[in-house]
Structures are given as structure tokens and as C-alpha cells.
Amino acid sequence: MRIDIISIFPEFFGVLDISLLGRARQAGLIDLAVHNLRDFTHDRHNTVDDTPYGGGAGMVMKPEPWGEALDSILPATDETDAGTPERATGPVLIFPSPAGEQFTQAMARELAREPHLVFGCGRYEGIDQRVVDHFAGRGRVRLVSLGDYVLNGGEVAVMAMIEAIGRLIPGVVGNPESLVEESHEDGLLEYPSYTKPASWRGLDVPPVLLSGNHGAIAAWRRQQQIDRTRAVRPDLLPAEDDADLQPPANSK
Ligand code: ADE
């Protein structure tokens, strides 16, 4: 997968050289480039923002540097291509924004199948809306929010999204089975995990996990998922407990 990031803080993304995603880059599974938005300015001060039309607090990111930066990354479009299926196969352009659609595991899975993602990190009060409108006319644009809170800019949101998406790219996580039984993969929160020793500071590992009874272990884990989800994220559960939430039939 090819990933391009545009930001006024390219150094923010240095950590993508290390850990799992760093290894994935070295292995050629992820080809990642970070572009400094200020490289696409032409004034002495490398200005990227200006005051908002209509007044109000804060600054808005100017459209011209964004236009040039994105033009340098996105394939040139022939106006006659507009609306053809070709457009639907170009890169996905993602602008992190608290005003966007909610980022989820399902979206991470969907984006992990794309060959090319471009992330545009806004700062201040956001990017001039015409940047989004212009590029929406040239391809697939998504405004994506990490959650219902406000960050100082898109960089942290993009880091989180790249980590969630990157680990779903085939080959990035060594043992793909470890991706299956995770929180959100089946719509429920993950069950609690334990390792040795069997007793620690007076706390014992639940005996069922030492029983060797795989059916009973699967049933216990499933029930833990349901109990946990009901306790802290009831919004993830179906309206009525239905058959999908029952422990597996082989559990006894
Ligand atoms: N930029 C600022 N706040 C954000 C959020 N919650 N999600 C994504 N991008 C943001």
C-alpha cells in the first residue's frame, strides 16, 4: 500500500519508522511518504493560514498550498474522466476532522484493501472548504473523525488511523490469527487475557482457562465479551439479545 501524508509537522510521523509499521515499511508492504505543506508556499514566511471570511476566532488553512500539494501527489485528471469508473479506483483522500464520519474498525478494514491512501492533516480551525470540494470532484474524499472530541490538528488522528489500517494489511502482523479475536472484530469488546503465573498477588486465573476444555473456554470467553460490552459499551449490542450473542453450541 502507498500512503502519502501532508502536514505542517512532518517530523510528527518519525515514529512510523519503528515498531510493527516500521518493519512493514522495511519489508516493502507499506510505501509511506510525508510531505511538508510549507514546501508548497511561495512567500517569505511560508504562510499556510489566514483569517476566516465572515469573522470569528482562529485561522483557516489557505487553499493554494493544499491545492499544489495534492496536485503533486494525485494522478492528473483529465476532465473527460470525471464520473467514469476510473475515478472510483484512484487514491482515497482522507481529511481528519471532528466534523467527519466516525472512524471504525470496519472503516479500517475497508481502507486496508485500498492501494493508495492520501491523508491531509489540517490545523487551526480547519482547511478552506473549497479544497475538499475541489478534490471531491476529482476523486474519493472522506472527512473522518477519530471521536467526539477536538484535537489540535489531524496528525494524531492520522497516526491512529494508519496504525489501525496498517496492521490489517496482509503480512504486517506476523500471526494473522491474532487479528481475529480482537475487540471490535466481531462487534463486541475483547475478552480478558491471562498468562503465567496462575496465581499473582492473591489473584487466580479463572479456573476454566486451566481446564483444557476448549468448548468451555470458548463459551466463557464469549460470555465475558457480552458482559463487558453490556457494561461499558451497550451501544454496540443489538437492541435485543439475539441468537448471535449466545455462547457457542459446543460449549458444554
Ligand atoms: N482534528 C481535530 N479533532 C479531530 C478528531 N476528533 N478527529 C479527527 N481529526 C481531528
Q: Are 39 and 153 in the same domain? A: yes
64: domain CATH number is: 3.40.1280.10
- Full-model pTM: 0.89
Domain extent at residue 133: 2-176
Q: What is the ipTM for the molecules in this complex?
A: 0.97
Residue 14 placed within a domain: yes
Q: Spell out the alpha helix ranges (H) of 149-244.
A: 155-166, 214-232
pLDDT by residue for the chain (252 residues), tens only, comes to 999 999 999 999 999 998 889 999 999 999 999 999 999 999 999 999 999 999 999 999 999 999 999 999 998 875 545 555 545 679 999 999 999 999 999 999 999 999 999 999 998 789 999 999 999 999 899 999 999 999 999 999 999 999 999 999 999 998 888 888 788 888 899 999 999 999 999 999 999 999 999 999 999 999 999 999 999 999 999 886 555 565 554 544
Q: Where are the beta strands (DSSP E) in the chain?
A: 2-7, 31-36, 49-50, 60-61, 92-102, 116-120, 140-145, 199-200, 203-204
Q: Are 122 and 201 in the same domain? A: no
Query: Cell digits for 194?
Result: 491471562
Q: How many A from CA of 195 to the centre of ligand 1?
A: 36
Instruction: Report the C-alpha gap between 208 and 224 in whole angstroms.
Output: 12
Query: Cell digits for 126?
Result: 480547519
Residue whose CB lies within 8 A of the most ligand 1 atoms, among 5, 124, 145, for a mutation test: 145
Q: Are 47 and 16 in the same domain? A: yes
Q: Are 29 and 122 in the same domain? A: yes
Q: Are 160 and 188 in the same domain? A: no
In terms of Cα–Cα distance, which of 92, 96, 109, 118 is closest to 32?
118
Tell me the helix, strand and coil percentages in the chain, rounded to 5: 40, 20, 40
Residue nearest to atom 6 of ligand 1 (CA): 98
The DSSP bridge pattern shows strands 49-50 and 60-61 to be antiparallel
Q: How far is CA 171 from the centre of its chain?
A: 18
